[in-house]
């Protein structure tokens, strides 16, 4: 946070007004398609540039439970949200002992489920493997695992995730391939190469390993920009929508919300954005009804990642 404040001195201070006094852009929840659950910030590894600071010791967000998830699934129906997808992110979701149960409950209600995972040891435990095989057999391609594979080469990937991480992730992907479980990939665009070069590299990897993933499809191979906290970014004003030839409906918080549970809290709360789980100004209340209000884009990530970068976490 200190780097963000230093790089953007005087910006992102007022929720509704930019530094130069213009009305700040805001986004209504126009079409809620994805409800995310953060399963907890604990992770089996510590990455060099984790936006949520997940690690084997960070439990700032504690494990959410299957019953808590079901409570929000009930609220989706009550509020008549047109949600098609339930997303699970972390931390590493498969660290949560109720991950299979939560997935089962969402799939049983007819939702598509997207799980963001590093496909390493937590996913490869026999109990989890048996659960995934059972869910795939019952629900087929309504279950998708998006694998965090930062680059198609071990050198760059391991620079982010630690020595040997690339090989362990590919072992998990090989297992998912052999079970017929649908996979996609999330990579990064920080390697001084063009998007075409990156997608060509992933395509070669997929072909060599027999992965049924399309490298040229942004929905199957998602390439995320780096969220550099030391970089200065512009504030997005209400007038920017027309200047940028984009619309509020295209921004992630127009179509999604995320449920988190903080350490020491009695109940989960709803955050506006998957990228800002710790920022109190993006906490919208305990219920989906409370979370239906507009979101003001008062953070550098809103500008760089979502509006200017055009990125989305949804499937």
Tell me how many degrees the CA angle 255-59-158 measures, rounded to the nearest 5.
Answer: 80
- Is the pLDDT at 296 greater than 90? The verdict is yes
Q: Where are the domains of the chain?
A: 31-223
- Is the pLDDT at 23 greater than 90? The verdict is yes
Q: What percentage of the chain carries pLDDT values higher than 90?
A: 82
What count of Cα atoms within 13 Å lies in the side-chain half-sphere of residue 148? 23
Question: Which residues lie across from 296 on neighbouring strands?
Answer: 26
The answer to whether 143 touches 181, Cβ cutoff 8 Å, is yes
Pairing of strands 295-296, 26-27: antiparallel
**Which carries the bigger pLDDT value, residue 225 or residue 140?**
140
Instruction: Give the pLDDT mean for 108-121.
Output: 98
Number of Cβ atoms within 10 Å of the Cβ of 230: 10
The per-residue pLDDT for range 229-251, each reduced to its tens digit, is 667 888 999 999 988 888 999 99
Q: Who's near 130: CB < 8 A, 6+ residues apart? A: none
Q: What percentage of the chain carries pLDDT values higher than 70?
A: 94
- pLDDT at residue 1, as a whole number: 40
Measure the CA–CA gap between 6 and 9, rounded to whole angstroms: 5
- pLDDT at residue 198, as a whole number: 96
Q: Which three-class secondary structure string do you get for 11-54?
A: CCCCCCECCCCCEECEECCCCCCEEEEECCCECCCCCCCCCCCC
The answer to whether 263 touches 59, Cβ cutoff 8 Å, is yes
Q: What is the DSSP letter of 262?
A: B
**Residue 306 binned pLDDT confidence (cut-offs 50, 70, 90):** confident
Instruction: Give the pLDDT mean for 289-300.
Output: 96
Burial code of 112-151, b = ≥16 C-beta within 10 A, e = fewer? bbbbbbbbbbbbeeeebbebbeebbeebeebbbbbbbbbb
Over its C-alpha atoms, the chain yields an Rg (Å, rounded) of: 19
**Residue 5 binned pLDDT confidence (cut-offs 50, 70, 90):** very low
The per-residue pLDDT for range 208-237, each reduced to its tens digit, is 999 999 999 999 999 987 666 667 888 999
- pLDDT at residue 246, as a whole number: 87
- pLDDT at residue 2, as a whole number: 41
- Is the pLDDT at 88 greater than 80? The verdict is yes
The answer to whether 140 touches 180, Cβ cutoff 8 Å, is no
Q: How far is CA 10 from the centre of its chain?
A: 29
Name the CATH topology of 31-223.
Answer: TIM Barrel (3.20.20)
- pLDDT at residue 10, as a whole number: 84
Q: Where are the alpha helices (DSSP H) in the chain?
A: 2-7, 66-79, 99-108, 121-124, 126-139, 154-161, 165-179, 195-209, 240-243, 300-301
Instruction: Give the pLDDT mean for 100-125.
Output: 98
Q: What is the pTM of this model?
A: 0.93
**Residue 203 binned pLDDT confidence (cut-offs 50, 70, 90):** very high
Instruction: Give the pLDDT mean for 49-70.
Output: 94
- Is the pLDDT at 177 greater than 80? The verdict is yes
Task: Verify cis geometry, omega within 30 degrees of 0, for the bond prior to 91.
Answer: yes
Instruction: Give the pLDDT mean for 294-304.
Output: 91
The answer to whether 290 touches 273, Cβ cutoff 8 Å, is no
Measure the CA–CA gap between 169 and 218, rounded to whole angstroms: 21
Across the chain, what does the average pLDDT equal? Answer: 93
Instruction: Give the pLDDT mean for 243-269.
Output: 95
Residue 129 phi, psi dihedral angles, 5° rounding = -60, -45
- pLDDT at residue 308, as a whole number: 80
**Residue 3 binned pLDDT confidence (cut-offs 50, 70, 90):** very low
């Amino acid at each position: 946070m200190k780097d963000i404040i230093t790089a953007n001195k005087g910006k992102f201070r007022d929720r509704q007004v930019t530094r130069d006094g213009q009305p700040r852009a805001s986004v209504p929840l126009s079409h809620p398609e994805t409800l995310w659950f953060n399963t907890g910030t604990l992770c089996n590894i510590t990455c060099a540039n984790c936006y949520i600071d997940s690690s084997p010791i960070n439990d700032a967000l504690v494990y959410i439970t299957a019953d808590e998830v079901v409570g929000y699934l009930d609220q989706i129906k009550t509020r008549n949200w047109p949600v098609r997808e339930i997303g699970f992110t972390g931390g590493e979701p498969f660290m949560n002992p109720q991950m299979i149960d939560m997935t089962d409950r969402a799939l049983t209600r007819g939702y598509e489920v997207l799980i963001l995972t590093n496909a390493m040891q937590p996913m490869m435990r026999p109990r989890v493997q048996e659960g995934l095989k059972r869910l795939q057999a019952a629900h087929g391609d309504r279950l998708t695992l998006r694998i965090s594979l930062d680059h198609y080469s071990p050198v760059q990937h391991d620079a982010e995730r630690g020595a040997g991480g690339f090989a362990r992730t590919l072992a998990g992907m090989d297992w998912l391939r052999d079970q017929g479980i649908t996979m996609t990939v999330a990579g990064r665009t920080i390697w001084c190469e063009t998007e075409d070069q990156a997608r060509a590299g992933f395509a070669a990897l997929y072909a060599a390993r027999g992965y049924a993933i399309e490298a040229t499809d942004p929905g199957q191979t998602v390439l995320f920009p780096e969220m550099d906290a030391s970089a200065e970014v512009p504030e997005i004003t209400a007038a920017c929508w027309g200047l940028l030839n984009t619309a509020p409906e295209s921004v992630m918080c127009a179509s999604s919300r995320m449920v988190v549970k903080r350490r020491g809290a009695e109940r989960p709360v709803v955050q506006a954005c998957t990228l800002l789980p710790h920022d109190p100004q993006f906490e919208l209340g305990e219920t989906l009804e409370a979370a239906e209000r507009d979101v003001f884009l008062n953070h550098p990530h809103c500008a760089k990642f979502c509006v200017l970068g055009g990125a989305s976490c949804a499937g």
